[in-house]
Each structure stands twice: as structure tokens, then as C-alpha cells.
Chain A
Amino acid sequence: MKISYRWLARHIDLSGLSAEQVAADLTLSTCEVESVERFAPCLSDVTVGHVLTREKHPDADKLSVCSVDIGQGAPLQIVCGAPNVRAGLKVAVATVGTSLAPDFKIKKSKIRGVESCGMICSERELGLGEDHEGIWELDGAAALGQPVAAALDLADFVIEIDNKSLTHRPDLWGHRGFARELSAIYQRPLKPLDTSLPPAGALAPFPVRIESKACARFMALCLEGAANGKSPLWLRTLLLAVGQRPIDVLVDVSNFVMLDLAQPNHLFDRRRLSSEGIVVRDARAGERLTTLDGIERKLEPADLLICAGPKPIGLAGVMGGEETKVASDTTALVLEVASFHAATIRRTASRLALRTDASARFEKTLANRDLPEAAAGHLVRTLQSIQPAVRLSAPVTDQRNEQALVAATAELSILLRPERVRKLLGVALDDAAISAILKRLGLAVSPADKPGWVQVKIPCERATKDLTEEQDLVEEVGRIHRFGNIPTRALLETIRPPQLGARRAIVRKLEDRLALAAGFHQTISYSFLADSLRAKLGIEGLPHSEVVNPVAEGLSAMRRSVVPSLLGLLESNRRHGQDVRLFEVGKGYLPYAPQEAGISPTSSAEPKEVHELGLVWARPPKAKQRFDEGVLAELHAVVADLLPALGRADLVWGPARTGELPAFAHPVRALVGRADKAPDARAVAVLAELEPSVRRALGLVGDLDSEVAFAALSIDDLQHAVAALATRYHPVSSFPGIKVDVALALPSAVPAADALAAIERAAKGLARGIELFDVYSGPNIAAGHRSLAFHVVLEDSSKTLEDKDRHKFLERLAKEAQGLGGELRAES
């Protein structure tokens, strides 16, 4: 919202205070100021001139050659094209060298052979609206040779306020409210404002009927004797300064009162209203109304209507109707000043995308006492000051909907403890100083019955929203005293050392391990998952939490797990690079669905949010040289290192059971990790290559051909696992162990896990380490068999192992190998 410094000065003496100073003080005490700018800066650059003579241009019918006195030196010869230029006029002269716009500098020139030394300006050329009919005829009293701005007292500054910082202050939506703030800040009195109504004529009062709960009050005033036309300069310039286009004097005065006191109002052409008067009622479904902007609006029962008899003539609190607006020949008027329900107006304005100056004010909850009558009086007095013939032809109609009035009016008196102010602000202000600040804001302070308390009476315009309880007054004192003047205090309390939290501690270690040791890059993704991506991954059939109003079509689903987000990033990243390693620690959102096993909602409606670690690795495929190469094996190495990095034994890895793999996982090249060996243990981690058709759907083919593996780990489960799993420490034996390398040739169908178990059994608890170092099939190995080679370390904490221990181990292992259908092929 824009406010005008010159306008403020109508309400309070601002002498000695620059607009910048006012803006700075408003910033620190009241609201957020966005900018301060000079209004129509050209006005200070043009000079008041006096047209001494006007001759016809010898070679052009429509041009005049004028001699203009600008109060210094010889009169200037200026060629002018305006029809209204004539001798004796006071005009605005732009002399040679003056810039009226960045690309419009006045130069000495010859026009049709006649020299011209300047320009006589129109209002439009000076930024004063659209009037370009002719040159601007200044008031005859304007001082010759002065800058126009000074001579006509038009110098002004526009202070732009951030509307968001005024949400809670309906009183600040008019200049008088700001002046009241400045009055408190500078301790200067407000100038009086005459808002009394003149005596009324004897005609019958205008009939008004309120039929809706959304209208608390409706005043109607019958005015006669108006003559519409152009507004006086002071009014037009004030409106222009705050960004309002002057229309005609009736509309301008109506707007002026709204921008002055914050109370919207409306003027109807009396001729267009029926004798039945005005009815305020809720709209009916399907009703239509053409608003002032010429657009036909489709209405709903939630909208509030102003009607002439049965016929809608205005959208209450938002915009008037086309049919009843004032015209150039309007002389008789009905003035509406009303109070409407804030949320009703807000919803209508918002639904119709019709945010007007009126709706912006009504939706802040304007006072419905004192304010409407003040606005009505102010409007009549202002109009009379311009057009003395205007008179009130009938007594004022003032319909009140008492029920709505009470609901919309807050308690007008608050009990306050000055001690509470001192305590909450942390400042030593005595009772008198606190009272003085409140009084400066227009609040009346009086003693209360209880000792230590005072009674504070709140004026209506502050009582609707902003000032309703004790702590609100603490803020009032604080901001006028200035929060910056409050001394800084340390928090004085015993610090109880907090825990970072088990999950955070684990997550940090995982992140560090992945980023610093495994070369993965952390990303943080959006929580939404595009429908198209869900379809590519084959998970579109799963229930997802959804938002009603997505930012874009097809982006309403919330991800159930982190990995799909990461898979969606592969194609673009592979386009820019070869090796794509990404991880994310984030949330999956599981919608509450009772049939889903294992998901219990925290409340009946709340979805469950799960913490997950997701990893993806994509890179151009390369030929595998060894069993431990390939993206799946290498990602397995990374993931299998995570629990050890947390100081725990690794998960138990093995094949997935039905239902444990997501749809986008490769059906065979996949494995899961469990926190223990129990057959029913839940999978904490899933590790897999991509399902081949998903890899194609994700575009990882052709130039972007990739081998891709992903892993998903439940951080919630890991947290439990970390608590449950044994720590990794194993005492260092003081007796030397022995190293044995063994190779077992076994049928290929025998899982490696069985070979490992066989070694464990053969070692009889002495196996300190078993490490697979080769997988081989080919010459020297029977068809359908493969050789698994292991480094085995045997160690006994109570004695030195000898050669016979080694032999016994190998004998047992040979038997185990036979039991698996193979043989112990080599040892060393």
C-alpha cells in the first residue's frame, strides 16, 4: 500500500521530519516500509510562467508563438500547440535543459521556422494523469518563477508499505491511522477532523433491509445538489500519489475517504435505485451480476449482495455494479457506508480473483462502531468543501444487525499489569511511562479495582483484531518504546546437556561414510513424485498420500520411499556425467490404510512417515573381470560397510522373500539385509539392480546405456538394529593364528552361504575371518561346478594353533565339501 507524506501532513504536523525519517521510524515502530520515492519529480523541475502574448504561428494554423515570462531574464519565445494557450495564463514551463523523462530532454529548436526556447506542459507530461486536451492552466495566484511543486504546494513523497505487515492492523489501511502512529512516535497531536453530519432535510429516509448475518451495519445517506466533474488539484494529486487514477469528483471523494479513514463506501446514482430501497442478502446459486469493471460474475450463496429491491446492484464489500454507478450528470446520490463480515468478503474476493481496495480493507475486520459514521460525515463534509451546494436531503438510515455487531466487536477494555510489561519486555519502565505510551496511541488508561492492574480502554478501530488481551498491550509499549532500546540479557538457566538423538547420530555417521569414504553425493529431493515416474517404475498402483492442489498436473503424489526420487534423477545426470552416485536421507510417506500390514497410524488420520536412506549408482557398463566387480557387487560393498561404520556387525544378507522387493527391482539380481538370522526377520535393507524394462523406461539405454543398482535402507529399522546388534570389537588374541587358503569346488547351484557355513562348521568356532577372494569356473573344474576360494584365519584365544589343528580343519572341511556334492580342491 502506498501512503503520501503530504496526505499524512493533513493530519499531523510533520515539520522538521523528512519522508525518509518518517519511513525509518515507521519501520522501527510500526510496519515494514518497502521504499520511499518522490512523487511526480518533474513538478520540481518546471517553472511557473506567465504567458505575456500569444500570436498565431505564421506557417501553421494550429500552433501559437508565445512570449512567456518566467520571472528571470527576458521573456522566452515558446511555440505551443495547445488550443487553450492564451495571454494572461499561468503555465508550467520546462526550460531548455530540463528532462521530463529519461529520454525526453527539452532542447532549443525551430518549429516550422520559428525558434522555440522551452515547452509549456500539459498535466500528462508532468505525470499528473491522462489529461492531454491542452496545457495545464495553473492557479492565477501561483508565484511566478518558482518551481511548480513549491508554488502549488504539490511536493510529495510516496511511502510504500508491505501489505503483509498490516494484516493485523485494519486501522492502518487509511492515512489517519498512520498519522495516529506518528502522533504516538513523535508525541505530536493529531489535527482535528470534522466528521459530524450536517443537518438533514425532511425527505423520507432511504429504506434499507439487512437479510444476511454477514452484514452487521448498513448506513444509507441521501445526498442532493452534486455536480459531477473533474476533482480539484489537491484531491487529484493526493490520489495520484498513492496510485489511484482520478475519475470524477464523486468517485474521487469516495476513494479519498476510504484511503483516509480505511472505511470503504459506495455512491449510487439515486435515479438507478428503485423506490423499494436496498436489501442486503446472500446471493442465490446461479445469480449473475455485472460489476463496475464490466465483467459478468457468476455468484454463489456464500457471496453477499447489495440489491435494489430484488435486483443485485453490487457485490458487497468487493465491487459495485455497472448499472447503478454515478454518471457525469448525476446530482442525487445514495451513499452506502456498511460493515461486512471479514471472511465472507475475503472468500468472495478470493474466489473471483477480484481483490479490490475495498475487499482488502473489509477482510481485515474493520470496526463497525464509530468508524462508519465518521466515514459518512467525513465524506459529506469533504464533498461539501468542494461543492457547497451538496446537502443531506433525508435523515440517515442506520440499519444494525445486532447479532452480527456483537460477534464482530471485541471487548473494548483490557486489564493490564504494568509489572507484566516490565517482565515480558525485560525493561525498566515505570507505571507512568507505560501509561504515557498507551495514551499516546489513543488508548485510555485508568486505575482498576485490583492493585497492580490498570484498565485500558481500546478505541474501536484497534479492538477488532489487534488489541484483545494483555500481551497485545505489552507489544504496544515495546514497539513505541522501541524494541531496540531493550537491554540484551543472557538466558540464565542451568543447561542440561541435550542428546543429539539416536537417529541424528546414526544419520550423520552414515552420511559421512557415504560422502567422504564411498564417493557418493548427497541430494535432497522434493517429496512429490510425478505420475509419469511412478508409471515408469511400475508403482502407480500403490496407495500414495496425495495433495489436493498440486503445483502442477500429475504431481500430487507423495513418495512412499526415497529411491524413486533418486531414480528419477538418473537420466539427466547420466547425460552430463559418466559415474552417477547419489544418496539421500529423507522421508517416505505411507498413507494410512488399515489393510497394509505393519503400518499403524499415529492417530486415526495421520499417515506414517518413515526415515530412509536411498542410494543409486549408475555408470556405463563395463566388462566384469572379477567376481567382486559390477555395479551391484560394488554397491553391496558400500552398503555392507555401513553398519560396521556404526561400530556394529554387518546385516545378514541373503535372497529376498516374496513381496520384499519393489516393482522396479531386478527379480533375481537382488538381495536383502536383515538384522538377525531368524527366518522371519524383517528386511532392513534392499539392494538390487534395476528391473530391465524399468531401466529402459528410465532412458538408460543407447548413449546412456548404464548398469544401475540401488539400495534402500530403513533408518528406523537400522536404529533398532544398532541397538540390538553386537558391537564389532573382538579381543586381540595374544596367541598367533594361522592363515589357510582353501578352494572348494562345488556344484554351481550351491549358494556361497552354504560354503561359508561349511567353513564355519569345519573351523569349530576358531574362524576369526573368512574372506572370499576368487570365484572360478572353466578348465580344471567339472562342468556345472564352480570353485570358491577363501582366505581363512583360524585363531584360538587360549593357545597357539599348530600344524595339527590346521590338518584337522582341512580334514573336516574336505568332508563338508563332499557333503555339499563337491570337493576341497586346493589348500595352501
Chain B
Amino acid sequence: MQSEHADLLAGYRARMSSAASQEVLRSIEREAFDKGGTIAGMLAKVPSLEPSERAGAGRAANELKRALEADFAAARERLAQAALERERSGGDFDATLPAPKARRGSLHPLTQVQRELEDLFTSMGYEVLDGPEIELERNNFDALNIAKDHPARDAMDTFWVKTPPGQERLVLRTHTSPVQVRAMAHLKPPFRAIAPGKVFRQETTDASHEHTFHQMEGLVVGEGISVGNLIGTMQTLLQGIFGRAIEVRLRPGYFPFVEPGFELDARCPFCKQGCSVCKRSTWIELLPCGLVHPRVLEAGGIDIERYSGFAFGLGLSRLVMMRHGIEDVRHLLAGDLRFLEQF
């Protein structure tokens, strides 16, 4: 009897020590303690024994049960400790493995710049407007004081759209300025508006010329708007774009829809002595602008004795190229993932 118990105990202990997981251990434990298990079997035999043997056998079974319980608890603890140790060891972790690639898309750099500018201008009370890209010749040229024979039309090589005979001629807009015309038709002064968008010029493409690019037009109309306001606004705009105050200079520039018209140059933000961006001049030609020409205001139905205004244009494509050091404008619309993924 005694030796039988000892053998049982030894057998269980051997199996416990070789159990590799808590699950295995638990199945061994069930074998010992469940209904019909080892201990229960022993206790079940007790009533059939001689009365003299009953007490001893009952005690012995309980002793074996306690011994097994203690051993199982120890084995569980041992396995738990081993699991902790294993987890702490960190396996074969190699801190020098390169990071796996996270799946991420991208916003086009033009979208990013356009959004920044939209946010900047809406924070200053400008509405954001849109206009058609296939535009009436009238809005693209005539209403902007660019008459049929105006030499300025030559400079804007125009895509003409096939139109049925007898209908108004259509162009792919050569600038965002026709939105000025449309804005004046439905906004009552005073107002401030910007119009970002795609524009088209029929010209041979190379690293710095594209037939399709992006611009942003700005228009402010109100009482007493002056050149002084224009300069102040442009300084604020540049501060918003470059994140710090930028010195500007204003020089005459000719655009038929403004009078006076300017080119606003910004002190090159990328250098002190001249670089490739500013073509060694330390100035960057950034913003054509001016007071809205009275003919344009009139075409928009605005009382020129009461109101004046200013307009400006910003080359979004150019701004994106400057910001990221993009050497070839044709990358912008080529749809090559090797380019797009970088933004």
C-alpha cells in the first residue's frame, strides 16, 4: 500500500516535471483529482475495506492528495516563472533590423500648399472661389481689359476649344484671373476672395515650362483700397508662406487687368548671397499684382468712384517646386508613384 502510493506519487512527479505547459499540467492534475480520478478511486475503495484498514487507507489517500496538491502548485509556479523568464529573454529580437514599411498614402504637394494657403486666407476673411477651366474668351480676355488686338494675348499662348459655329468662343483659361470677373458678378463689395486652380498655356514643355500648371488668384474690393494695403497684405501672405517676415520689393510690372501693376519680389528665403532658386540675384519674382484696372471693375459692375481693389496672382506650381527643390515642373502632373510617394 505504502509503496503503491509512493510509486503513484513518483509517477505523477515525473510527469509534472516534464509538463511543458500549464495546459498539459492541468490535464495531469485532472487525472489525479477529477471524478473517477486517482484520488477519487482510492477514496471510493475505502468503504469496501476491512474497518480496521479504513482509517489508514483514508488517511493515506488524503496524504497523497495533499502531497500531490502541493507538488502541482509548485509545478504551476515553476511553469509560470519559466514563462516569465522566456518572455523577458526577448527571443531573438534584433534591434538593428530596419523598420518594416508602414502602409501610407500621400497628399499631392500641390494639395498641401493649396490647403495651407486656403487656410491662411480664410483666416483673414477671404472666400475661396472656383471657376470653370473651359472659360469664355470674354472672361479670360475681354473683361480683363485684354482686347482682341492686345499684344498681351501673344504672351499667353492660348488653347482654343472647338465651339459650334455662331457660339461664343471658348478657351482653356490661361490664368485664374477670369475668376475675378465671376467673383465681381456675384459678390457685393466689400469682399475678399482667392481662387486657386488649374490653368493652361499652349507652349512647348521643358523642365521649367508646362502647358498645365496651378495658380492662385486673389482679389480684394472695398472702399479706399490702396497700394499701401496691397503691400501690407502681400507681406502678411509671405510671412504665412515662409513662416517669418520676408523683405519685399515692388517694381513696375505690366498686366492689362491692373493699373498700376507690379511685380512683387521677395528676398530669397534660401540664401544670403544668391543661389540657383533666385538666379543669383537674391530676389525671387513671386507675385504679380496691382490695383484692379477700372475697366475690369466696371466690367464687373462695380462703382469705380466708390470702390477700388487689388488683385494678385501666385504660382502654386512654382511655390511647390521652390519648397521641395523640385528641378523639373513636369514631375508635378506625371502621376509617377516614385515622385508622389515622397510627400
Contacts and interface: CB of A to CB of B under 8 A. Distances in A.
A68 B120 CA distance: 73
Contacts of B108: 522-524
Contacts of A566: 335
Contact of B128 (A166, A504, A604): A504
Given A165-B253, A491-B229, A547-B159, A523 B168 contact: no
Contacts of B229: 426, 489-491
B320 to A, nearest CB: 11
A487 B229 CA distance: 9
A526 interface: yes
Contact of A30 (B151, B252, B291, B308): B252
B40 interface: no
B118 A500 contact: yes
Contacts of B79: none
Interface string B243-278: 000000111111010011111000000000000000
Nearest to B110: A524
A549 B159 contact: yes
B233 A515 contact: no
B227 A426 contact: yes
Contact of B105 (A472, A484, A501, A520): A520
Contact of A350 (B154, B161, B162): B154
A474 interface: yes
Given A479-B252, A524-B108, A549-B160, A606 B291 contact: no
Contacts of B61: none
A55 interface: no
A31 B263 CA distance: 10
B313 to A, nearest CB: 15
B48 interface: no
Contact of A31 (B252, B293, B341): B252
B249 A424 contact: no
Given A551-B202, A605-B164, A424 B254 contact: no
A770 B298 CA distance: 62
B340 A527 contact: no
Interface string A106-137: 00000000000000000000000000000000
Contacts of A565: 335
Contacts of A426: 226-229
A90 to B, nearest CB: 40
| Majority SS at the chain B contact face | mixed
Interface in A515-561: 515-516, 518-528, 545-551, 558
Nearest to A169: B254
Interface string A469-505: 1111011001100011011111101011111110010
Contacts of A587: 133, 198
B133 A475 contact: no
Interface stretch (A235-243, A454-462, A574-582, A722-730): A574-582
A597 to B, nearest CB: 19
Contacts of B26: none
Interface string B137-179: 0000000000011011011000111111001101010000000
Contacts of A582: 335, 337, 340
B134 A475 contact: no
B132 interface: yes
A522 B339 CA distance: 11
Given A475-B259, A606-B134, A522 B111 contact: yes
Determine which residue in B162, B164, B228 has the highest number of CB atoms from chain A within 10 A of its CB, and name it: B228
B231 interface: yes
Contacts of A427: 226-228
B260 to A, nearest CB: 3
B125 A496 contact: yes
A641 B103 CA distance: 17
B106 A515 contact: yes
Contact of A488 (B202, B232, B259): B232
Contact of A605 (B128, B167, B212, B260): B167
A363 interface: yes
A164 interface: yes
A511 B111 contact: yes
Contacts of A580: 337
A498 B122 contact: yes
A29 interface: yes
Nearest to B341: A521
B190 interface: yes
Contact residues on B (Cβ < 8 Å of other chain), bracket:
35 or more
Contacts of B205: 551
Contacts of B204: 551
Contacts of A524: 108, 110-111, 198, 214, 332-333
Contact of A475 (B192, B200, B252, B333): B252
Contacts of A471: 259-260, 291, 293-294
B228 A489 contact: yes
B123 to A, nearest CB: 9
Contacts of B163: 605
B333 A484 contact: no
Interface string A411-441: 0000000000001111100000000000000
A688 to B, nearest CB: 21
Given A346-B149, A424-B226, A576-B338, A604 B167 contact: yes
Contacts of A521: 105-106, 337, 340-341
A478 B341 CA distance: 48
Nearest to B340: A521
A785 interface: no
B33 interface: no
Interface string A560-595: 000001100100110011001111000101000000
A519 B149 contact: no
A487 B148 CA distance: 37
A160 interface: no
Contacts of B341: 521
A167 interface: yes
B211 interface: yes
B115 A29 contact: no
Interface in A148-168: 164-168
B301 interface: no
Interface in B74-96: none
B227 A425 contact: yes
Contact of B259 (A472, A526, A551, A609): A472
A497 B125 contact: yes
A21 to B, nearest CB: 15
A431 B34 CA distance: 114
A495 B154 contact: no
Contacts of A490: 229, 232
Contact of B231 (A28, A486, A519): A486
Determine which residue in B105, B167, B225, B231 has the highest number of CB atoms from chain A within 10 A of its CB, and name it: B105
A469 B294 contact: yes
Contacts of B294: 469-471
Contacts of A32: 251, 253, 263
B235 interface: yes
A519 B128 contact: no
A606 to B, nearest CB: 7
27 contacts: A168-B256, A423-B224, A423-B226, A425-B226, A471-B294, A486-B227, A488-B232, A491-B232, A491-B233, A500-B118, A501-B128, A516-B105, A518-B105, A519-B105, A522-B107, A523-B333, A527-B133, A546-B161, A551-B204, A551-B211, A565-B335, A569-B336, A573-B335, A580-B337, A605-B136, A605-B163, A605-B168
Given A551-B203, A589-B133, 19 more contacts: A363-B151, A424-B291, A474-B259, A474-B291, A475-B252, A475-B260, A475-B261, A478-B227, A486-B227, A488-B232, A489-B226, A493-B222, A501-B127, A516-B105, A524-B214, A548-B161, A582-B340, A605-B164, A607-B170
Interface of B: 103-108, 110-111, 115, 118, 122, 124-128, 132-134, 136, 148-149, 151-152, 154-155, 159-164, 167-168, 170, 172, 190, 192, 198, 200, 202-205, 211-212, 214, 220, 222, 224-229, 231-233, 235, 249-254, 256, 259-263, 291, 293-294, 308, 332-333, 335-338, 340-341
